[in-house]
């Protein structure tokens, strides 16, 4: 099967709930989005919302951070885990646990656990007796120099969490509090076989990417003797899943090698390739609007924006100001199946305002066609941030800025 670049973009965006528009809403929408998206990366940096909240706000109508807290800490229908911290639906718990059961943790953490087994037992005993505990409860503990915790006991909590001995009970801001896993999720299920774990986790990862070539192979997890990672072994794993029929190869216009998708997602790709929208992807939106993608959104991070959209998307937060090309915290602007520009938003929590300091529009983006969709997107974004006062900076020509301002006033008046 050979597909166009447009089909590739729409398929990847559609699997992630971004095309043709939002199709989920409310708390149930958060549950549905987590199942469909498979994982959402957590990042504590909060400029205009944390990364995971921005991901959900771009997909779920009326999303509020308290909706995710309910799903995570009241219902326990999702959980947080991993060195590269992600939120997963509860349905993935058995798979993640099976990986740790068979493969263990990265070698440095296995060595840490053996060296500090007495500390781990002490922290575990306190949780068993007293319930949820966070690193801050050990202010008088043994100091260490580690970014995850300034106390040895805090590292023990992290180690136990990575091993599924404890899970996150709740958060206070970015502070995590842990309790024993069986109290929160019941007894862990029996692990599936090592071979199934490797295959199923690879399928989960490739389903998260949607459609990928060699760029997707790097995300696969392979723990070999000595816990080394091998590009060849990852490619062999992908090829084995293709040979077994669980992955399907397609050729994308302009690509030199084939890409793969999960075979169960092939009907969606075929529908999109025919110029149609899958029934389950139908959106309730009646008018086009822009969506502002989170910095670590799987559709545009990790170099994927260039592959899918021909769009440069550097994350420049950690660069010195003199080396930034765009700005400190910049969000890509999605309109339909195209990335049409970037904005630099700043939130003032005290003044309840959202300032768009700057915007950069891609070549070919026509201001007259962007005004109304951009204004609708800004209005929705401001409501999500509870910042009714939108201030427009250097977003384009004076004429364009004035047109956006008028449209925002019209939307604020319910017109």
The last residue of a domain, from among 185, 204, 222: 185
Q: Based on the domain organization, do 304 and 258 belong to the same domain?
A: no
What is the enclosing helix (H) or strand (E) of 119?
Answer: helix 117-130
Q: Based on the domain organization, do 341 and 238 belong to the same domain?
A: no
Q: What is the CATH number of the domain that holds 369?
A: 3.40.630
Asked if residue 286 is part of any domain, the answer here is no
Asked if residue 140 is part of any domain, the answer here is yes
Q: Based on the domain organization, do 50 and 85 belong to the same domain?
A: yes
pLDDT of residue 116 exceeding 50, the answer is yes
Q: What is the pLDDT of residue 229?
A: 57
If phi > 0 it is left, if psi is from -120 to 50 it is alpha, else beta; for residue 241 that is alpha
- Mean pLDDT computed over 183-205: 96
- Mean pLDDT computed over 55-69: 97
Asked if residue 363 is part of any domain, the answer here is yes
- Mean pLDDT computed over 361-374: 94
The last residue of a domain, from among 235, 256, 281: 281
Q: Based on the domain organization, do 150 and 181 belong to the same domain?
A: yes
Asked if residue 173 is part of any domain, the answer here is yes
Cβ–Cβ under 8 Å, residues 27 and 56: no
Q: Are strands 86-89 and 78-81 parallel, antiparallel or unpaired?
A: antiparallel
pLDDT of residue 222 exceeding 90, the answer is no
Q: For residue 139, name the pLDDT band (cuts at 50, 70, 90).
A: confident
Q: Based on the domain organization, do 206 and 143 belong to the same domain?
A: no
Beta strand segments in 90-191, E: 133-134, 166-172, 175-180
Give residue 321's domain range.
Answer: 291-412
pLDDT of residue 412 exceeding 80, the answer is yes
Give the Cα separation of 2 and 95 in Å (integer): 33
Q: What is the CATH number of the domain that holds 138?
A: 1.10.10
Residues 6+ apart with CB under 8 A from 412: 379, 388
Q: Based on the domain organization, do 298 and 384 belong to the same domain?
A: yes
Q: Based on the domain organization, do 270 and 363 belong to the same domain?
A: no
Q: What is the pLDDT of residue 227?
A: 45
Q: Based on the domain organization, do 199 and 78 belong to the same domain?
A: yes
The last residue of a domain, from among 281, 305, 320: 281
Q: What is the pLDDT of residue 214?
A: 85
Asked if residue 220 is part of any domain, the answer here is yes
Q: Based on the domain organization, do 88 and 102 belong to the same domain?
A: no
pLDDT of residue 65 exceeding 70, the answer is yes
Q: Based on the domain organization, do 69 and 109 belong to the same domain?
A: no
pLDDT of residue 262 exceeding 60, the answer is yes
Q: Based on the domain organization, do 399 and 305 belong to the same domain?
A: yes
Mean pLDDT (the chain) is: 94
Q: What is the pLDDT of residue 49?
A: 95
What is the enclosing helix (H) or strand (E) of 273?
Answer: helix 266-273
Q: Based on the domain organization, do 200 and 54 belong to the same domain?
A: yes
Name the domain count of the chain.
3
Q: Supply the pTM of this predicted model.
A: 0.95
3-state secondary structure (DSSP) of residue 144: coil
Q: Is the dihedral of CA 93, 96, 97, 98 positive or negative?
A: positive
């Amino acid at each position: 099967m050979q597909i166009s670049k447009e089909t590739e973009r729409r398929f990847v965006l559609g699997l992630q709930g971004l095309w043709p528009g939002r199709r989920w809403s409310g708390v149930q929408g958060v549950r549905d989005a987590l199942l469909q998206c498979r994982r959402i990366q957590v990042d504590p940096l909060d400029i205009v919302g944390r990364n995971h909240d921005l991901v959900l706000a771009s997909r779920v109508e009326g999303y509020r951070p308290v909706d995710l807290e309910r799903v995570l800490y009241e219902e326990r229908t999702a959980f947080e885990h991993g060195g590269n911290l992600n939120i997963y639906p509860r349905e993935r718990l058995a798979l993640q646990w099976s990986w740790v059961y068979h493969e263990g943790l990265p070698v440095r953490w296995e060595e840490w656990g053996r060296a500090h087994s007495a500390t781990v037992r002490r922290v575990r005993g306190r949780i068993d007796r007293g319930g949820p505990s966070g690193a801050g409860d050990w202010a008088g503990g043994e100091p260490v120099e580690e970014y995850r915790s300034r106390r040895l006991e805090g590292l023990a909590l992290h180690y136990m969490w990575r091993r599924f001995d404890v899970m996150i009970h709740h958060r206070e801001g970015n502070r995590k509090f842990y309790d024993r896993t069986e109290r929160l999720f019941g007894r862990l299920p029996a692990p599936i076989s090592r071979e199934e774990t490797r295959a199923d986790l690879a399928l989960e990862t490739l389903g998260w990417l949607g459609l990928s070539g060699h760029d997707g192979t790097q995300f696969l997890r392979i723990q070999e003797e000595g816990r080394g990672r091998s590009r060849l072994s990852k490619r062999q794993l992908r090829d084995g899943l293709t040979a077994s029929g669980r992955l399907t190869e397609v050729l994308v216009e302009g690509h030199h090698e084939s890409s793969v998708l999960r075979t169960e997602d092939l009907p969606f790709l075929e529908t999109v390739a025919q110029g149609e929208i899958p029934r389950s992807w139908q959106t309730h939106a009646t008018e086009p609007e822009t969506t502002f993608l989170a910095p670590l959104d799987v559709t545009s991070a990790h170099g994927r924006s260039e592959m899918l959209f021909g769009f440069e998307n550097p994350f420049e937060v950690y660069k010195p100001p003199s080396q930034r090309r765009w700005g400190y915290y910049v969000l890509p602007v999605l309109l339909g199946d195209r990335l049409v520009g970037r904005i630099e938003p700043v939130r003032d929590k005290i003044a309840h305002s959202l300032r768009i300091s700057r915007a950069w529009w891609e070549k070919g983006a026509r201001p007259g066609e962007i005004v109304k969709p951009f204004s609708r997107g800004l209005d929705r974004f401001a409501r999500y941030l509870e910042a009714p006062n939108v201030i427009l900076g250097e977003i384009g020509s004076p004429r364009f800025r004035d047109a956006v301002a008028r449209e925002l006033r019209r939307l604020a008046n319910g017109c």
